[in-house]
Structure formats: C-alpha cells, structure tokens
C-alpha cells in the first residue's frame, strides 16, 4: 500500500477524516495523471472561482451573518467578495507571464548553455482557513494554488458552519472534486488535515495553532505557509494629523468588530497628545457607528466564548488600575454580541490586554515619550503581522520602518496593504512564515525548478578525469574569468 494511503481503513474515523482521505487520494492520482494543466485549464478554473463567488454572493453574505450573529453586509461584500474576485482577476491577468520560464544568465565559461527557472505545479495543496474572513481566506489562497496548476483541498473553520456549508455546495457545484474540493469537520479533521502529506499546506489562524500545524506537517516534511496573528502596532508620530489618524485607526479597529488579523492591536502615541488622540478616536468611532446596538453595519463578536474573553480583557485591565473609555453602549441583553470600541488607557504591561492578541474592538492607548521608546516597545515583543505609521516626517517614518521588522506596512492608514495584489502578504517571525497574493502566491504554490540546458557545442569533458596538464590550463583560464 502506498505511504499516502497506508492509514486509510480505520472504521473509527469521522466523516470529515474519511472524506479527506478519499479526496486526497483522488487529487494525488489526478495530479500524477495530468501534472501540468494548460494555461487555458487554469484560466477556466479561475473563472469557476469568480463565478461561484459572484453567483453565491447573497448566500455567502447571509451565511456569514448567521455565523457571526450579525456580519455587516458591506463588510462581507468588500472584504470577502470584492477582495477575492479582484485577486482572482489579477491572477488571470498575469498568469501567462507568471507561467513563463524565467531566463537567468549563465556564466561566460559555460556559454552557450542556457539557464532557466521553470515554474511547475507542486501537486495537491491543503488550505486551512479561519472564521474571521471565512470566504476570502479560503478562496484567495485557492486561487493562487489553482493559478499555479495545482489541485486544492480546503478545510474551513468549524466556527462558521453556515459559511462552510455554503462554500462546500458552491465549490462542489462548480468544480470536479479532483481539482478543488472542501472538507468540513471539527478539530479532529483539522488535525488529520495537517498530518496529510500535502505538497504544500497553507494555514491561516492563530500563532499557537500555527505551531501545532508546523509540527504535524514537519513529520511529512510538508512545506508550510503560516499566515498567523499577533499584536500589530499603530504609531502616531508627533508630526501626525491626529484627526485623520484617529479616523483611520477607528475604522481599522472596528471593521469586523476588530476581528481582523491585521487590525491595529494597540496605539503608541506621544504622551503629551494622548488625550487628544483618545478624544479624536472616540469622535471618529461615533461617526462611523452612531448606534452600535441597532445598526446592521457593525459586526458582532463571533461567539459567546470570544465575547466573554474580550469582556474579561477589559475587566482585567480595570482591576489592574487602567482607565477605560467605552464609545457608545452595548445593550444589556445584547442578543447579537455587539461590543463597543473600548479604549484602555495606559494599561499595565502585565495586563492580559497587553499579553495576547486582542482580536476584538478593544484598543490600548499607550503613551510614549520619544521614538526610541516606541521602537523598544515594538522590538521587545514578537514581530507583528502589520505595522501602521502616521505622520508627515518622512525621515522619522523611514527610521521606524528600518528599525522594526514586521509583516506588511501601511503608512498613514490601516489594512490597505492587504488589498494590493502586487505586494506579498504574510508575517515574519511569530506572525508567520511565507507569503501569498499576486506573484508571491503563484511562486509559493509552484516548484520553481532550476534547469540548466547544456549546449551541444559545450566541451565540459575537458574537466573530466584523468586530470592532466591540459586540465590545469583550462582551470587557470576559468579561474581568471570567474
Ligand atoms: P485558529 O488558529 O483557532 O483556527 C484556524 C483554523 O485551524 C480553523 O480552521 C480550525 O478549525 C483549525 N484548527 C484548530 N486547531 C487545529 C489543530 N490542532 N490542527 C489543525 N487545524 C486546527 O484561528 P481562528 O480563531 O479561526 O482565527 C483567528 C486567528 O487567526 C487570529 O490569531 C488571527 O490573527 C489569525 N488570522 C491570521 C490571518 C493572516 O492572514 N495572517 C488572517 C486571519 C486570521
């Protein structure tokens, strides 16, 4: 029995695990039978992705909202539908160029041989997606993997069952399952997924689970791309326009109720402008969402567990002496788990809100006295997934960007670097390994195969043994021209 299927006949396995094993074997065979899908086939697969996303828009909007309690319709359309479709269209536009062999130069003494890097499909790609942008974070990596000519299995989060079902139905209706399929199931299916010998595994989720995924994948030496989380700072420089920075920070923090991997986690502000920053963010938040209880524009916290986790972060900071500014109120009954923007002013560093990724609309505002202190604050912590800098002083900006190592950066705004398909998207250190989007995604899911084409006019046998004086002469000429 081949290694890939050796563990296949255990009756105690869940439906999800059995379906995973069947689909993996099917896709593996399909890849062996047809390892290099043509440009036309790949374009047709990308068209299928666009079609299934657009045709099911209403179903996806409703399913995600049902999963969250309330997910703002426009947020789903912008962040799930539009971002996904524009990413797929970008791949379609550039695919011909991406598929071409890359010419690289060959050293003089080896001419007229040629050297090329030829992108090759890896085979079967596994994608594990989280609940916070459950459609985009399943389909955007799938688009990159299909563009690169692979087969794809997607394992969505168990926390968004309605979306997972809608996604399963949409993908099943559009794709042959030997090309792209969805596997649903609980944590045990997730674990089995990470133990499957994929040709590449892309995981989007939290850093602690990312560690487990990397450990499980390492047993098969499955290469991984880990799109993780962390605490992303927003730095308000003393040269910043506070009102403009506040509006952008409030938006970045309140979109999807802060349940965004690249949301600003905390703000670093000059101490003498802290109160101005707090008032400006509060005003901006009120303007964005005047009535958080009743508006459908403000998204709910995804589950009771996360809701009480976030509430206890605030309680812990209060207990440790921090002042808290809550913008707007939350209904006492709160059937939709709406949590207002809550600023925590200069919390002690041992408070939970400064120890873990917040992933909700709670915003620590931290006073710093100078740029060095801001740099130390960031560099004393794990490398963030994103970094935001606000100001007009380009020299100060460049100093901060050179002295911090983060995933992506947006200057004078939040979030938007993620929507630039020409920029690779990914973290660094504890916020992730590898990247996708645009060219980076195509190359992540390709084997960039180096090929040396020897010329029939080559005379490399002059370097073969037995070594003679002639060999030494040739060697000495080669060493001179190197
Ligand atoms: P999570 O790590 O709890 O779960 C992510 C996925 O992993 C889910 O599909 C889940 O079913 C699966 N999973 C859970 N345990 C597993 C295990 N032991 N083995 C294999 N799979 C397992 O994350 P989440 O709560 O769904 O998402 C929130 C986190 O994701 C935050 O930390 C956020 O910053 C991060 N995130 C990162 C990005 C990014 O692009 N870098 C994007 C969105 C979210």
How buried is 394 (Cβ within 10 angstroms: 0-12 exposed, 13-18 middle, 19+ buried)? exposed
Structure tokens at 234: 């927003």
Task: Please give the Cα distance from 201 to 126 (Å, whole number).
Answer: 5
Task: Render pLDDT for 333-359 as a digit per residue (tens, 0 to 9).
Answer: 677 899 999 999 999 999 999 999 999
pLDDT of residue 478: 87
Pocket test for ligand 1, best of 209, 219, 264, 357 (most atoms within 8 A of CB): 209
Cα(226) to centroid of ligand 1, in Å?
A: 10
Is 227 among the catalytic positions?
Answer: yes
Pocket test for ligand 1, best of 205, 211, 302 (most atoms within 8 A of CB): 205
Nearest to 434 by CA among 231, 273, 225: 225
6-228+434-447: what fold?
Aldehyde Dehydrogenase; Chain A, domain 1 (3.40.605)
pLDDT of residue 4: 43
For range 144-169, the mean pLDDT:
97
Domain span(s) for CATH 3.40.309.10 in the chain: 233-425
For range 150-179, the mean pLDDT:
97
138 lines ligand 1 (CB under 6 A): no
> Between β-strands 124-128 and 151-155, what pairing exists: parallel, antiparallel or unpaired?
parallel
Q: What is the DSSP letter of 436?
A: B
pLDDT of residue 358: 98
Helix (H) / strand (E) element for 162: namely helix 161-174
Look at the pTM and tell me if it is higher than 0.85: yes
Task: Render pLDDT for 193-235 as a digit per residue (tens, 0 to 9).
Answer: 999 999 999 999 999 999 999 999 999 999 999 999 999 999 9
Task: Please give the Cα distance from 42 to 175 (Å, whole number).
Answer: 12
Task: Render pLDDT for 358-415 as a digit per residue (tens, 0 to 9).
Answer: 999 999 999 999 999 999 999 999 999 999 999 999 999 999 999 999 999 999 999 9
* Summary mean pLDDT of the chain: 94
For range 124-143, the mean pLDDT:
98
CATH number of 233-425: 3.40.309.10
Residue 149: what are its φ and ψ, rounded to 5°?
90, 20
Cis, bond preceding 64 (omega within 30 deg of 0): no
Task: Render pLDDT for 72-99 as a digit per residue (tens, 0 to 9).
Answer: 999 999 999 999 999 999 999 999 999 9
Domain span(s) for CATH 3.40.605.10 in the chain: 6-228+434-447
141 lines ligand 1 (CB under 6 A): no
């Amino acid at each position: 029995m081949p290694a890939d299927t050796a563990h296949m006949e255990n009756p105690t396995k869940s439906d999800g695990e059995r379906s995973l094993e069947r689909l993996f074997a099917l896709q593996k065979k399909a890849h062996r039978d047809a390892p290099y899908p043509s440009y036309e086939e790949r374009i047709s697969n990308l068209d299928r992705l666009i079609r299934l996303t657009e045709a099911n828009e209403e179903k996806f909007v409703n399913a995600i909202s049902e999963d969250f309690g309330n997910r703002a319709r426009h947020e789903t359309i912008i962040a799930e539908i539009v971002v996904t479709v524009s990413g797929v269209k970008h791949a379609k536009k550039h695919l011909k160029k991406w598929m071409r062999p890359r010419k690289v130069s060959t050293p003089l003494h080896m001419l007229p041989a040629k050297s090329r890097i030829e992108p090759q499909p890896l085979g079967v790609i596994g994608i594990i997606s989280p609940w916070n942008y459950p459609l985009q974070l399943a389909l955007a990596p799938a688009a990159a993997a299909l563009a690169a000519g692979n087969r794809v299995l997607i394992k969505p989060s168990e926390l968004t069952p309605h979306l997972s079902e809608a996604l399963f139905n949409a993908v099943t209706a559009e794709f042959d399952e030997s090309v792209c399929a969805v596997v649903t199931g609980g944590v045990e299916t997730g674990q089995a997924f990470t133990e499957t010998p994929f040709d590449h595994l892309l995981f989007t989720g939290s850093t602690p689970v990312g560690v487990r995924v990397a450990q499980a994948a390492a047993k098969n030496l499955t290469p991984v791309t880990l799109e993780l989380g962390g605490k992303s700072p927003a730095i308000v420089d003393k040269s910043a326009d506070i009102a403009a920075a506040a509006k952008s920070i409030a938006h970045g923090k309140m979109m999807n109720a802060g349940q965004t991997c690249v949301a600003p986690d905390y703000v670093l502000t000059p101490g003498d402008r802290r109160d101005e920053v707090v008032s400006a963010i509060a005003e901006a938040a009120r303007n964005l969402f005047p009535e958080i209880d009743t508006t459908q524009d403000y998204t709910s916290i995804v589950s009771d567990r996360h809701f009480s986790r976030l509430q206890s972060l605030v309680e812990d900071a209060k207990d440790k002496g921090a002042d808290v500014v809550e913008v707007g109120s939350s209904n006492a009954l709160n059937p939709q788990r709406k949590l207002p923007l809550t600023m925590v002013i200069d919390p002690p560093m041992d408070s939970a809100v400064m120890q873990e990724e917040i992933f909700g609309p709670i915003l620590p505002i931290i006073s710093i006295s100078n740029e060095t202190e801001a740099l130390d604050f960031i560099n004393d912590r794990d490398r963030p997934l994103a970094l935001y800098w606000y100001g007009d002083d380009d020299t100060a900006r460049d100093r901060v960007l050179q002295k911090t190592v983060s995933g992506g950066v947006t200057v004078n705004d939040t979030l938007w670097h993620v929507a630039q398909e020409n920029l690779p998207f990914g973290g660094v250190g504890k916020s992730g390994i590898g990247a996708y989007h645009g060219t980076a995604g195509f190359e992540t899911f390709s084997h960039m195969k180096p090929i040396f084409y020897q010329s029939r006019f080559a005379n490399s046998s002059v370097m073969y043994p037995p070594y003679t004086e002639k060999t030494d002469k040739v060697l000495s000429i080669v060493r001179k021209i190197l």
